[in-house]
Structure 1
Amino acid sequence: MLKLMYITNDPTVAKIAADAGVDRIFIDMEVLGKAERQGGMDTVQSYHVPEDIAKVRAAVGGGTEIMARVNPLNPNSQAEIDASVENGADVIMLPMWHTADDLRRLVSMVDGRAKVMPLLETDTAADTLPEALSIPGIDQMHIGLNDLHLCYHQKFMFQLLTDGTVDRLCAELREASIPYGFGGVGRPGSGTLPAEYIIGEHYRLGSQYVILSRSFCNTGKITDMDEIRRIFAEGVADIRRVERDCTAWTQKQFEENHRRICACVEKIVRGMNA
């Protein structure tokens, strides 16, 4: 089963998500350069802080992992990583890395105190991935479709599933025996690109991690905790149901699902260009 990750610094929401079966709560402290990169896009900056990690840890207990996405490498990186670890982060995610040397610095700063999950979201990182994966101390990798598709001047982030980019990166990660995931997913039964198709791609590509997207449960708009609890309970159950179906698929069914993805993405991009 996919390990589900959800971004929140709200202890109550984190507890609801964990109780519903979310595997990892994602504290998102990345702000440096993000607004400039994603200007005009419907994205969110979270403005989380290291102290949120301790609050969420107290709410969810020890059975749910907490991951901290720090800022891209900068003069304050060591202090930011130290604060994340001291507040209880199990996993450190570094965004916007470019070279193998960036990951050497990351591994050195974490120094074995937490798992290391770099976020691959630049074209230069994609080009240097085989070298980067030779560095001891890289525990996992997530492929960030949002910023990566901007690097390639694409219109829609899921074009990376149709042009072979994600296939190639996943193959390199499998070869290095590094667990990996990519992108995000909404609730089955929703989305212009159906969540069911995306989950099928995760199984075709051997992915182990996915972020539950804002559309899965947008707590910026939904504030009633009973409603949030219902959305998580039903939504996670829906994802697990789709996953059970995927485990029985034949290679032909995976290929058919990939063709559906390609057709749907092409239609979406045509609409964006119109």
Structure 2
Amino acid sequence: MSIRLLYITKDPRIALIAEAAGVDWIFVDLEYRGKNLRQIGRNTVISAHTIEDVEGIRQVLKRSRLLVRVNPLGEWSEGEVDSAIAAGADAVMLPFFKTKEEVCRFVGLVGGRVEAWLLLETVDAVRDVDKILEAPGVDYVHVGLNDLHIERKTRFMFEFLVDGSMDALAREIQATGVAFGIGGMARIGELIPPAEHILAEHYRLGSVGVILARSFCSPPISDQNAEFAGHFADGVRAIRAMESWLADQDAAFFEFNRLQVQREVRTVLDSLSESP
């Protein structure tokens, strides 16, 4: 298995670098409605991308596919979906849905013209995921750990990964036959839990997609484009090398890794408790 890598950008130069490095999906983010309120006081980014950014990315991509996230469902949705498809999206993603009715309406708006993706990031959607995925025409579900963490009032977004919630959700999604991915990932060897341990959890759970986090290529693009491109490509190569290694591991390894991630998340939570 080779996990699909998603990367968020509106910059055609960065999109080309990501494509050359082996990123599968370039992700343009048009969502803004309600995000400021939901994520107030948190270290998150409101992308402020535009439909013109979708068009600009579409013009340069040769291999990578183009994903566009629109706003949560509303009276504006038909126009947003139509505009994203007209601008060249290969898939359109609906965020922050809660009900099967919302998903059915969204899938109807997409109308099979491109792939219909869901960003599962509400407690209501987690609870009713079996009913929601009865809706025909859903091509992929991405589990959004950040907004789930906010709504659940937990202290660290990876708590969802280690408290049994993601295991239960993965089983329910897999039972529907819909492909799914989970959250974001930093560079191999970085952060706690380290990205390689998170990647192993993707393999254990059956996830086929991950978003490369902002920290994945933190050096900003500049006149030294070759240096930035090399840094990006090195990061993707490290992921693919780790995947090759994971493909040879047995169930005992993945259980050991699961317990290790639990310990690492507890370490993070302990450090948060000690913070002033």
TM-score norm. by structure 2 comes to 0.96
Q: Counterparts of 1:139-158 in structure 2 under 5 Å?
A: 139-158=139-158
SS in 2 for 1:226: helix
Question: 2:28 aligned with 1:2, yes or no?
Answer: no
Please tell me whether the aligned partners of residues 24 and 64 of structure 2 are also in contact (alpha carbons under 8 angstroms).
yes
Residues 200-247 of structure 1, C-alpha deviations (whole Å, 9 max, x = no match): 00000011000000000136x443322220111100000001111111
2:36 maps to 35
2:204 corresponds to: 204
Q: Distance in 2 between matches of 1:20 and 1:273?
A: 39
Secondary structure of the corresponding residue to residue 216 of structure 2: coil
Report what 1:72 is aligned to.
Answer: 72
Tell me the equivalent position of 1:103. Answer: 103
1:19 alignment counterpart: 20
Q: Which residue is 1:262 aligned to?
A: 262
- The residue aligned with 2:241 is 241
Q: In 1, are the aligned partners of 2:121 and 2:147 still within 8 Å (CA)? A: yes
- Residues 43-73 of structure 1: CA deviation (Å, up to 9, x unaligned): 1111111221121111112x21100010111
Cα deviation, 1:110-145, whole Å, max 9, x if unaligned, reads 111110110000000001100011111011100000
Q: What's the RMSD between the two structures over aligned residues?
A: 1.0
* Aligned positions of 1:27-66 closer than 5 A: 27-61=28-62, 63-66=63-66
CA distance in 2, matches of 1:29, 1:217: 22
Partner of 1:272: 272
Distance 2:150 2:163 in 1: 14
When normalised by structure 1's length, the TM-score is 0.97
Distance in 1 (CA, whole Å) between partners of 2:228 and 2:134 is 42
Q: Deviations over 1:55-99 (max 9, x none)?
A: 1111112x2110001011121111011100000000111110000
User: What CA distance in whole angstroms lies between the structure 2 residues aligned with 1:142 and 1:20?
Assistant: 22
For 2:176 and 2:65, how far apart are their aligned partners in 1?
24
| Aligned AA (2:27) | F
Gaps of 5+ in 2: none
Describe the SS at the equivalent of 2:124: helix
C-alpha distance in structure 2 between counterparts of 1:189 and 1:128, whole Å: 36
Return the alpha-carbon distance in structure 1 between the equivalents of residues 27 and 228 of structure 2.
Answer: 17
2:216 alignment partner in structure 1: 216
Distance 2:157 2:73 in 1: 24
C-alpha distance in 1, partners of 2:268/2:196? 17
Assess if the C-alpha contact under 8 Å between 2:192 and 2:265 holds in 1.
Answer: no
**2: CA distance between counterparts of 1:155 and 1:87?**
38
Aligned pairs, how many? Answer: 272
- What CA distance in whole angstroms lies between the structure 1 residues aligned with 2:226 and 2:74? 41
Report SS of the residue matched to 2:147.
Answer: helix
Mapped partners of 1:227, 1:194: distance in 2? 24
Q: Distance between the aligned counterparts of 1:168 and 1:114, measured in 2? A: 29
